[in-house]
Structure 1
Amino acid sequence: MTPTDTELALVTGGNRGLGRATALALAAHGTDVVLTYRNHEDEARGVVAEVEALGRRATALRLDTGDMPDVEGFAARLTAALDVTWGRGTLDILVNNAGHALPTPLGGTTAADLQSLFDVHVRGVFLLTQSLVPLLADGGRVVNVSSGLARIVRPGGHSTYAAMKAAVEALTRYWAVELGGRGITVNVVAPGPVATDFGGGAVRDTAALQAVLASQTALGRVGQASDIGALVAAVVSPAMGWVTGQRIEASGGISL
């Protein structure tokens, strides 16, 4: 594969967890990667090194998807980075992965918590995607990361997080229509319980919780970050070029 044939992906929140796994899975399939991080620059640089060890090129850019001035200025920073590292001005793949979780029980939630979740999971995703669509090559792919919680109701105050992810799923269907004329596919990947540091690492670090969740899945286990990374790499592959506007849940068959 020549440099001009190499696809290039942007993965937000790529310094750890699902984002890191996605960056590595894409690299293993021959894709170069731009990853973003909000904090933990050391982790981001570590992922860049891992991608390079797989024979691909990568760079890391800081981005807080909940900070609107940061989002609004990101396209210019990305354009400069693409020119410096790749000598090109377009992306082939956009993975909107960055996110965070906050408990929002009814009767115990502040307006600031609601705003924080909205800013990152809806406003940030919308405005970032809007700003990057001109940089997305015709025939490109967009993957939005949702959550199994948009389908499955669980205790623990997840209502607002789930609602924001449901909004992203609706945006995905509309964007699939809006961008279809350019041959761009837009799909959702919705992970079930995965053993990462997300949400304080509860699934990863609590054996009892893992056992309960595993017992509710058809496959008898919780997910690993690599399960989701592999799925994203599959969704953006040429074999999935006729699939758009779809929600693909990777949950081991939980609560069927």
Structure 2
Amino acid sequence: MEKQNKIALVTGGSRGLGKNAAIKIAKKGIDVIVTYQSKKEEAEKTVEEIKQLGVNAAALQLDVSDSSTFDHFITEVKTTLKSTFQADQLDFLVNNAGIGIHASFAETTEEQFDSLVNIHFKGPFFLTQKALSIINNGGAIINISSGLARFSLPGYAAYGAMKGAMETLTKYQAKELGAKGIRVNIIAPGAIETDFGGGVVRDNEQMNAGIASQTALGRVGLPDDIGGVVAFLCTEEARWINAQRIEISGGMFL
């Protein structure tokens, strides 16, 4: 019988950072399930790109902001694991899906706050909880924080606070899931050129130059700087890294 590939689930894996991570994970010989919220075609293109790397892939719809859909989603994952991967369990969960909202503390609305809580904290909290039934012992969970949980830039009070919550949660998950041999780490990207938050870092020349000037390596990050670190955390080489916050920012605001 041929050896079964390990399998990773990457939320928000159809574009941006998530897509880059999914492709880098696939390059390690790991099968990948990506989720998308609305852009099915983008997700299917990502699946095709991953398959060209010689591993198997699938895409599933998921709205991370709506925890009432998670039971149904986990059922869909189980069905996909059987039909597409001839497997019952996953090995890796990457809680990547996210949005950016830029609003000063004084002007953040309850609606914006609730949206950020649901997507960046409540969503990953309960999705991971539901997914425990299908994560193999010895697997790994990778959460996503932000440099904005370490330093403060006006306009990100709610977002940065949610990421701070995820950093604390990561330690608790690591401690409580250690008995199953499941490692839990969190990566914290610095400013990156993607369409995140309306592409503000990528498209605003002044902001881009300002961030580059405050970064030890003298430029703004790219998705390609991040995905490989996520993939590394899904390998045997990273087996002793646990409960860590790994900032990937080129040395911002040192």
Please show how residues 56-75 of structure 1 align to structure 2 within 5 Å.
56-75=55-74
Please show how residues 1-256 of structure 1 align to structure 2 within 5 Å.
2-4=2-4, 6-155=5-154, 157-256=155-254
Q: 2-side partners of 1:230 and 1:71: how far apart?
A: 28
Give the letter for the 1:186 counterpart: V
Q: Is the 8 A contact 1:72 1:127 kept in 2?
A: no
- Aligned alpha-carbon RMSD (Å): 1.2
TM-score scaled by length of structure 2: 0.97
Q: Is the 8 A contact 1:10 1:35 kept in 2?
A: yes
Q: 1-side partners of 2:149 and 2:43: how far apart?
A: 29
| CA distance 1:41–1:3, change in 2 (3 Å) | farther
Report how many residues are paired: 254
| CA distance 1:76–1:201, change in 2 (3 Å) | same
Q: Which runs of 5+ in 2 are unaligned?
A: none
Farther-moved stretch of structure 1 (62-71 vs 7-16): 62-71
Give the letter for the 1:154 counterpart: L
Give the letter for the 2:44 counterpart: R
Q: 2-side partners of 1:139 and 1:31: how far apart?
A: 15
Q: Deviations over 1:136-177 (max 9, x none)?
A: 00100100011110001112x100000001101111000000
Q: Deviations over 1:88-143 (max 9, x none)?
A: 11001000000111123222122111111101111110110000011000100100
Q: 1-side partners of 2:38 and 2:213: how far apart?
A: 35
Q: 1-side partners of 2:188 and 2:239: how far apart?
A: 19
Structure 1 consecutive aligned stretches of length 4 or more whose deviation exceeds 4 Å? none
Counterpart secondary structure, 1:107:
helix
TM-score scaled by length of structure 1: 0.97
Q: 2-side partners of 1:106 and 1:178: how far apart?
A: 34
